Structures are given as C-alpha cells and as structure tokens.
Structure 1
Amino acid sequence: MRNYVRCALLATSTLVATVVAAAGPAKPQKRTNFSPIVDTRGDISFPARFPEGYQHIGTWAVLGAEGVADTHNVYARPKDVIYFRKNGRFPDGAVIIKEVLEAIGSGHTTGKAYWGERGKTWFVMVKDTHGRFTTNPLWGDGWGWAQFDPKDRSRQIATNYKTDCLQCHVPAREMDWIYVYAYPALGEKALRFTPEAARTGGLKAGEGHRVAVADDASSGTSTTAEQRKVLAGKQLFDSACMACHSIKAGEHGIGPSLFGVIGRMAGSAPGYAYSDAMRNAGVTWITENMVKHLMDTRGFIPGNRMGSMFKGVSTSNDGDSIAAYLATLK
C-alpha cells in the first residue's frame, strides 16, 4: 500500500517529517523507563492527570510597575520533595512544574491584595542525572526543559533550552538551576540558599518603591524636570526591571545588561543569547522605540522573550521616565 510523506511546521518552529501510512496513523513514541512524561526521543509531555500526584511547594509574586504583575505557582511530586529534604538535591526523574498567571488585585480588609487569574504559560522540568538526550536541544545542564501553551497543554512550545529557558535560571546555577530557597516544602536544605539581601530586608531606603521625588529644601538645592524624570525612572526600573536586567556593562542575567542600551541596536549586546526575534528586529534603541517597547512588550517586537514575562508599563510617562534613566547608563 502506498505511503505518503508529509511535513508540518509546528508552532515551535521545528520542522518535523512524519510518515503516515494509509492504513492508519503512526504509533506514538514509547515512554522511557525513567519518566512517564518523557518519550524515547526526549519529548516531554504535560502530566495528563495534573494536579493529581503533585503538591504545591511555593509561590512567587513578581512585581510590575503598579503592583504584582504575575504569580508563579510551583509544584513537585511528593516523593521528589521527600528525597530533596533528605539529600539536598533532586533525584533522577524528578519533575518540577511552574504555572505562570497574570495577577489582578483589589482592596481587601487586609489592604491591597493580588492573586493569579489568567494563565500565561506553563513550564516543566525533568531531572536527568545521566545525560540521556544529548542530541535533543531541550535537554542539558542536568535537566529536560519544556514550556506549554496555556490554552493547550498538549502543545510544547520551547525549541532550545539555552535560549528559551536557561537564561532565567542563571542566578540559580549553584542550586542546580532551581531557586530552591523559595519553596518552603523543600525544607532547611533549600532554605539555606536564601540570599542575604532577602534575610536582612534587602532594599535600601527609597529603593523598589514608587515614592514622590521632590526638591531637597533642607539643603537649599532643587532638581530640574529632567532630573526628576530620571529619578522617577530609576525607581520604576528598580521595581519593575532590576530583577531581570543589570546596569553593569557585560553583566547579563535573565535579560541582557542595559548599560549603554540607548543608541544600541536591539539584540547586539555581546555575550547574551538573544531570541531570533530580538536579534533580527532591526530596531535601534532610541528613546522613542524604547518607550514603544515598554508600552507593548509583546507587540512592538513580536516573538521576543520579554513579552512572555512582563506585559509592560501602564503609561507612556512611565516608559519615558525609564528611558530617561537608561540614557544615563553610559
């Protein structure tokens, strides 16, 4: 019986050729022995019966310009939690799941409160202590990495863990790429990694908060409108941007260093692994373009990674203030 070969371009931009016999569809790949959600090619599936068989281990609240922008709920299997509490590391085949929700908030008797509402994405990591899938670009550094469409969890959308996933985990390299200190269920062996700044309160006076910038009457000095804009921009940057971006030359984190960014071509800072969308955008970061990007992080340069993590500032004045502050970093 004649076979037909057809090629489909998946949403992950990976070209996959599948041979389909006229007698029926091809059989699915077998699962591996070490993980029921990983097939023999290393493709990771979202656990079909989640949240059954998983426990919540911790939640992140990620700040935006006007409060909490996202909540990140993290889950693991109870047996993996028990193993970590005993050994201080995750066992082979351990599964970590993170649900990212867009946060909303309102006034409550306890004050302004925020909670997750609309799903933004899902991440799944599978521990691999044996380096099993050396030719699969979603495996490396001891883990399998996957990201799933929030509206269709059967659709895996990451293409390469180094460009799509790893950058967000660089500060946690000493913790096997997982920010274990944020997950109380993992016990003392995880909490010992808590950053000193967090233990001591971290922020200096005036940092990380939207406070009014006024003239310093006590010293007899005054600030210009441009100086006030720069100061406001720094405060916005500290609360909304600093978690991902450094202001030191060449010091990249989740995002690239923003030292000298104004006047620079998008996607051109040496040493940072940009997405194809950013690297090929052809955009120069003049003030006008920076404000447009900050106002519409998903739409100004479609497909860039920042758009999936930060929805942008709420007003053009905020964007203009941040751009004014960035212009001083040189």
Structure 2
Amino acid sequence: MAHEMRENEDVFYMGEDVADYGGIFDSTQGLLDEFGRDRIMDVPISETAYLGAAVGAAQEGMRPIAELMFVDFFGVAMDQIYNQLAKNTYMSGGNVNVPLVLTAAVGGTYNDAAQHSQTLYGTFAHIPGLKLVVPSTAYDAKGLMHNAIRDDDPVMYLFHKRLMGIGWMPAPDGPKTPVPETDYTIPFGSADIKREGADVTIVTLGLHVHRALAAAKSLMADGIDVEVIDLRTLVPLDTDTIVESVRKTGRLVVVDEDYQSFGVTGEIIASVADRDLGALDAVERVAVPDVPIPYARPMEDEVIPDATDIEESVRKVVSPK
C-alpha cells in the first residue's frame, strides 16, 4: 500500500483505528508517519458514512482503500457495498468507475464470538460487480494488493486474522514467505497449486490453505498423495485449474471457513460438475456448520474446520463406503 501511495497521490487509506493505532491487525503500521492525516484517515464508527464517502471519492477519480475492521460489520453498510460499490458502474451505463479496495478481516479461531468471527466469502462472491481476493501468504498478499489498487473495478480484499502474525494471535509458519521489495502483481483469477499430488484434490483459500497442507503432510505417511489448490481469488474464479486437477485425481475435497449452505464449497463442486461431471469419482466438503460462531473456545474449535477434519474427509474420498 505504501508503494502505491508513493506512486499515486490519489491513493489514500481510511478506516477505524488505522492512523495513530496502526490498524487493529497492524496492517497500517508506519503509514501515518510517512503520508500524514490527509491520506491516512481515522474515521468515526459509522461504516455507512465512510464507505459511502469512499465510493464517492472513487467515482471522482481517486483510489481509496477503505477498511471494514471486521467483515461482520458489513451489515450496517450493506446498501453502500451491495447497491453502490458493486453496481454503480453498471447503473451509470459505464460512465463512472469505482476503483475502490475494501479490506476486511475475516475468520475465527480467536474466540471473539458470533459478530466478530465470520468469514462470509459467499456473501460477497454472490453479488455481481465485486472482485474478491483472499491471500494466504505474504507473497500473495503483496502481489494481489498491488493488482487490487490498480484495478478500475471495486475489489474486496479479505485477509484472515490468524495470518497477520500479530503478537497476541500468532500465525502458522506457512504464510511467512519471502516478499520482494520491488512491486509485482498477481493476476486475478489465477489459482496457485501450493502442493502437487496424484490422489486427491483439495481446493481451499486463506488460512485453510495451511491447514490443508498440514493434512497433506500427515496423509503422505499413509501413501495418500494430495494436491492443494489455493484459489487466491474467488471472483474471478480459476475453474480451469480446479477441473484440470480433478481430471488427474478423480477426487475432490473443498475446504472453506464460511458457512456450508449456499456457499463456496457448493459452488466449487457445482462448477466442476458443470464442466466435467465424469471426472468426479468422489466428493467431500468441509465447512462451518450453519450455526453462529460460538464464543467458548472448545465450541469454536468444534465448528471451525482444522487439519484433522480435512484429513478425515480426504480419507473418505480415498476409501468411500
């Protein structure tokens, strides 16, 4: 973000606790010192107001990055996101662009209950007009952010809290990849095969890329060779890479931290079935059951999939009943 702000004065950042505090997840540390309060803006706790202002700024030619501290808070700004951000280019007949990046933290595993722990990929992927980005590593996070800021369409950039590496909520080692100092972009709609395998395809994103890789490592001890695909973006979706992998393995496990019903797991499976139903010998999906995320740690651990849940689902498709 700092690189893009140095290159383009129209780029600015706004959100709650993003200036003096440096972002609740440390995502804006140091930006205030370099760019000042005209471009790193703390805003009142009124998502409706500041997201509406960001949409207006984007339509006037600026490139705002607006932070929704927790994705769960979208409810109080649903009109700004669903009916303005996503649709104004279409509603204007293409006379305005909305080059806005809306960032938000997603996910549970740190016991903050039902209104601060959701993932909601499917909620935003469902509405036409938004591009949807979900990085799983530091390298991908930078390349996807460069691309998001430069895109002339609205982009939702969702990062998992557990991957941010803040002191009170340590990240797994997997996201800590080398990051070049030079700028580079990762094109949207380009999934990444994080691990090649021959027996089962796991399709996932965000935190669960690393849980899938942990499951794959464990399964290898029993001779089960797992391919792990990191979607990186949901919109656009790289269906080609998924289908090609399933044609090789014949077995598909889709893993998501969103709710199971009407969500990403079902969409991925349907997309493969549409393209090549005959390639599918066995399918499993791993997601959050349709319940609010619990506050109590044992209950939260029960509903959010972990590496053990993924491993069990892989074993099911390898040895179906």
Q: TM-score range by the shorter chain?
A: under 0.3
Larger radius of gyration: 1
Higher helix share: 2
RCO comparison, higher one (Cα < 8 Å, 6+): 2
* Bigger strand share: 1
TM-score by length of 1: 0.25
